[in-house]
Structure 1
Amino acid sequence: MADESPTPGQRVERLRRAAGLSRERLAGLCGLSPTTVKFIERGRRSLTLQAAQRLAPHLGVRDLADLFGPAVTLSLDGRPSHPAVDEVRRALTGAWHLTVDGDPDSPDYLRGAIDSAWQTWHTSRHQRTEVGLILPGLLDATQRAARLHTGDDRRAALTHLAQAYHLAQAYLAWHGDRELCWLTVDRGMSAALDADDPLAIAQSIWYAAHVLRAVGRADEALAHLGEARALIEPRVADGGTEFPEMLADLHLCMALTRARTGDQGAWSDWDTARQVVERALPAGYVGLRTRVSRPLVDVYAVMCAVDLGDPDEAQRRAHALDPASIPSTERRGRHYVELARSADLEGAREATLHLLTRAEATSPETVRYSPAAQDMAGRLAREASAAVRAEAIDLAQRINAVPE
């Protein structure tokens, strides 16, 4: 019998070794984490077209058939899309207000509407569905207010408009086309700069950094986060709680960005965020929109350990963290996904399935649209032991991750 054709992961490993590269070196060159490269090589994560495009130049590959095999078929179906994406797209691209009249909503009203929307995002089990219903109207109201108000009211309206774009980015992050997500980043930054509001500018950089990191531009993300930190730090002592909250969130974003490139310096940024929360924010403080808090700092510690490929450290960090203390249903669901990733690192498939099931029970839409959860659920449905395979297939079907 002829030898089976090598898998894409095996092809990546062979080419990497032939190029004389360690996993860590290859990961750093292409903007992926060492854990991601290891998972691809071992077949525990699919080689996506995006990852292949990043890897190819550093492996001496000019034809992607060298990675996928000559008979590969690449699916052009996008990520799972939420039903409200079309309405949000229309609000972003099809509802330009060339002529605007009438009375705009007041800045105070808009702030309340934005805060209510973020509260829904963090407390609903079906946050994408509920926020998707209100986002088009919220975008319309804040766009109109930014056009009709003048002076200080216009600057306040622009700050709220930036927040509306940030909420749209959070909604679109795991579904919808990438260009639409980039549009929210650019418009959010433009609104914040027009408002000339340091907090709004720093928040816009925070959101931009997540997208930059996702497309392999981690160095650029870190540079911009450093600029935002320099903008916020001088205002922490006298600017109210929003400034240390923002500073902590910037350091958490820097920590995660470093972790996803395999940089152990992530722990330094994480520790700075911890110190800011403990020393500069009141006990029990929870940011309304960011959910910055001591439990969230601990959530990031687990995320960093997983992305650094250290499941033992991830489990140690998670041991003392009660998921019920995480002040966001969406974040709690993502935390269970991170714990599932940690179990997956160790090949503990039953534990991975259990944690994904917990994540789905906490926040079904977080699991349904999370690329990591989708990948793990699909592999479990194919590879889990007979004792739990039926349960794994059932989960994969519920979250639309049915294997081919």
Structure 2
Amino acid sequence: MNERNSPPANAPFGDRLRHYRDRLGMTRPVLGGLVGRSPDWVKDVEGGRLQQPRLPMLQRLAHVLNVGLDDLVGGPVPIASYTKGAHGSLSSVTDALTDYPIDTGDITPLTSAELAGRASAAWQLWHGSARQRTAVAVVLPDLIRQGRLAARLHDGRERRAAHRELARIYHLVQLYLAFQPVPEMVLLAGDRAMTAAQDSDDPHAIAVAAWYMNHIFRNSGERDAARIDLSQRAMKLLDPERGGEDLARWGLLQLACALSHAKSGREGDALRHWDEAHRAARGLGRAYAHPWLVFGTSMVDAYAVTIQADLTHGGTASRLADRLDLDALPSATRRSFHLTESARAYLMRREPVAAVALLRQAETASPETLKFSPWARSAILELSETGTPATRRDAAALRSSLGLEAA
């Protein structure tokens, strides 16, 4: 954490909370809405009239403010259950990511077509498995090495095609690493994906790399202008009038801008870009879903819930959630993610029964997606300790099945 962006080491919790809220330019009503509390609650916590919240709420505040728990409270948080978990194969993937092929004298690289086939198969594992991290962790280490070798050892058109596939591999690595305690590795994967996409000279690859870099910037909370500018510059490489891949990627980048604006509270800009994304998705056909990006009307409609929730419109978000047809999404991890976002919308309206029911559906769709969601982890822990006996029981069962028991 940059010291200029940190409060004094001995600052009380209320001052630290106000510091990080002010750093994002976030008002008390916005922060309160995002964590399911009133503006007066935020004011009382910042003023020291209320004590430091319990750990589930701390986790939610830290997530919204894009700051570590230790930074928020001014010291170590000893209970691991409330922090990001690590997948069992994390070290094998990060080892492959940070390895460098040097001695390549006797190696025959995969052709770009062979590499594309393996990359597509890995993406099918990601979307088709309920435990997608476990599934892709089996193939990712070797896929990373094969992709880097092909991009290094081929020449000309074949080299550029290998770089295009290597970018796709790095996108999958980024998704695998997301919400685990290795933020530097997520940034490395994103940066390498963009570099590979640029080396491919393929506008389609560059556009997708911009989409995934937008996720990194949005989660960091400190590069608001950069993430929107990158998406808009990448859009200029595409011609949506051509339809097909150009239109899908153009719509994806419009969606990236919408999500970024919503995260910053700029409602008009967020809805304007969402409308463009929705128009692009409709232009591809109601039943269309991109083979590995999953862009289409179902995905755009589902992200409308996230946008409204980020804008603190819990009522609108929950009404949109009620109309979603997530069965049309050909991805277990996306279904689980959007069910979790629907639960977030209902919890903003203080409807824990609906929220828990949606979280249980999210677990059914993909327990690993739910387990690695920072918001879901904190919400489940809080719901297991508060609310009605029924919601506490169901949330406690989720907490146990996801391995979130407090130490």
Mean Cα displacement is larger for which, 33-42 or 244-253? 33-42
Quote the residue 1:152 is aligned against: 157
Q: Give 1:27 deviation, angstroms.
A: 4.4
| Distance of aligned partners of 1:198 and 1:122 in 2 relative to their CA distance in 1, 3 Å threshold | same
Q: Is the 8 A contact 2:224 2:260 kept in 1?
A: yes
Supply the distance in 1 between the matched residues of 2:65 and 2:122 (Cα, whole angstroms).
37
Question: 1:381 pairs with 353, 374, 384, which one?
Answer: 384
Question: 1:250 pairs with 243, 249, 253, which one?
Answer: 253
| Distance of aligned partners of 1:33 and 1:288 in 2 relative to their CA distance in 1, 3 Å threshold | farther
Q: Give 1:163 deviation, angstroms.
A: 0.8
Write out per-residue CA displacement over residues 59-118 of structure 1, whole angstroms, 9 at most, x where no aligned residue: xxxxx99x748xx65349551000111110111113433434332111111112111111
| Distance of aligned partners of 1:318 and 1:37 in 2 relative to their CA distance in 1, 3 Å threshold | closer
Residue 28 of structure 1 aligns to a residue in which SS?
coil
Supply the distance in 1 between the matched residues of 2:342 and 2:111 (Cα, whole angstroms).
43
| Distance of aligned partners of 1:47 and 1:393 in 2 relative to their CA distance in 1, 3 Å threshold | closer
| Distance of aligned partners of 1:318 and 1:15 in 2 relative to their CA distance in 1, 3 Å threshold | closer
| Distance of aligned partners of 1:353 and 1:167 in 2 relative to their CA distance in 1, 3 Å threshold | same
Quote the residue 1:61 is aligned against: none
Quote the residue 2:200 is aligned against: 195
| Distance of aligned partners of 1:100 and 1:339 in 2 relative to their CA distance in 1, 3 Å threshold | farther
Q: Give 1:386 deviation, angstroms.
A: 2.4
| Distance of aligned partners of 1:114 and 1:257 in 2 relative to their CA distance in 1, 3 Å threshold | same
Question: 1:45 pairs with 54, 57, 64, which one?
Answer: 57
Q: Give 1:295 deviation, angstroms.
A: 0.6
Quote the residue 2:25 is aligned against: 28
Quote the residue 2:271 is aligned against: 267
Write out per-residue CA displacement over residues 222-267 of structure 1, whole angstroms, 9 at most, x where no aligned residue: 11111111222xx3334x5111110111111111111111110211
Quote the residue 1:401 is aligned against: 404
Q: Give 1:45 deviation, angstroms.
A: 3.0
What's the C-alpha RMSD, in Å, of the aligned pairs? Answer: 3.0
Q: Give 1:395 deviation, angstroms.
A: 1.1
Identity %, equivalent residues: 33
Residue 74 of structure 1 aligns to a residue in which SS?
coil
| Distance of aligned partners of 1:113 and 1:388 in 2 relative to their CA distance in 1, 3 Å threshold | same
Q: Higher relative contact order at CA 8 Å, sep ≥6: structure 1 or structure 2?
A: 2
Does residue 1:345 correspond to 2:351, yes or no? no
Mean Cα displacement is larger for which, 209-218 or 100-109? 100-109
Q: Is the 8 A contact 1:375 1:401 kept in 2?
A: no
Q: Give 1:15 deviation, angstroms.
A: 7.4
Unaligned residue ranges in structure 2 (runs of 5+): 1-11, 46-52
Unaligned residue ranges in structure 1 (runs of 5+): 1-9, 57-63
Quote the residue 1:228 is aligned against: 234
Aligned residue type for 1:45? M
Does residue 1:165 correspond to 2:177, yes or no? no
Q: Is the 8 A contact 2:315 2:349 kept in 1?
A: no
Supply the distance in 2 between the matched residues of 1:151 and 1:200 (Cα, whole angstroms).
17
TM-score normalized by structure 1? 0.84
Supply the distance in 2 between the matched residues of 1:103 and 1:68 (Cα, whole angstroms).
53
Aligned residue type for 1:225? S
Q: Give 1:319 deviation, angstroms.
A: 2.5
Q: Is the 8 A contact 1:270 1:301 kept in 2?
A: yes
Q: Is the 8 A contact 1:33 1:259 kept in 2?
A: no
Supply the distance in 2 between the matched residues of 1:48 and 1:387 (Cα, whole angstroms).
23
Write out per-residue CA displacement over residues 264-312 of structure 1, whole angstroms, 9 at most, x where no aligned residue: 0211110000111212x24422101110111111011111111111121
Q: Give 1:52 deviation, angstroms.
A: 10
Does residue 1:307 correspond to 2:310, yes or no? yes
Q: How many residues are paired up?
A: 375
TM-score normalized by structure 2? 0.84
Question: 1:110 pairs with 111, 115, 126, which one?
Answer: 115
Q: Is the 8 A contact 1:206 1:225 kept in 2?
A: yes
Quote the residue 2:189 is aligned against: 184
Q: Is the 8 A contact 2:258 2:307 kept in 1?
A: yes
Quote the residue 2:49 is aligned against: none
Supply the distance in 1 between the matched residues of 2:351 and 2:97 (Cα, whole angstroms).
43
Does residue 1:99 correspond to 2:104, yes or no? yes
Does residue 1:287 correspond to 2:290, yes or no? yes
Q: Is the 8 A contact 2:60 2:375 kept in 1?
A: no
Write out per-residue CA displacement over residues 354-381 of structure 1, whole angstroms, 9 at most, x where no aligned residue: 1111110111001111101101001011
| Distance of aligned partners of 1:54 and 1:79 in 2 relative to their CA distance in 1, 3 Å threshold | closer
Residue 109 of structure 2 aligns to a residue in which SS?
coil
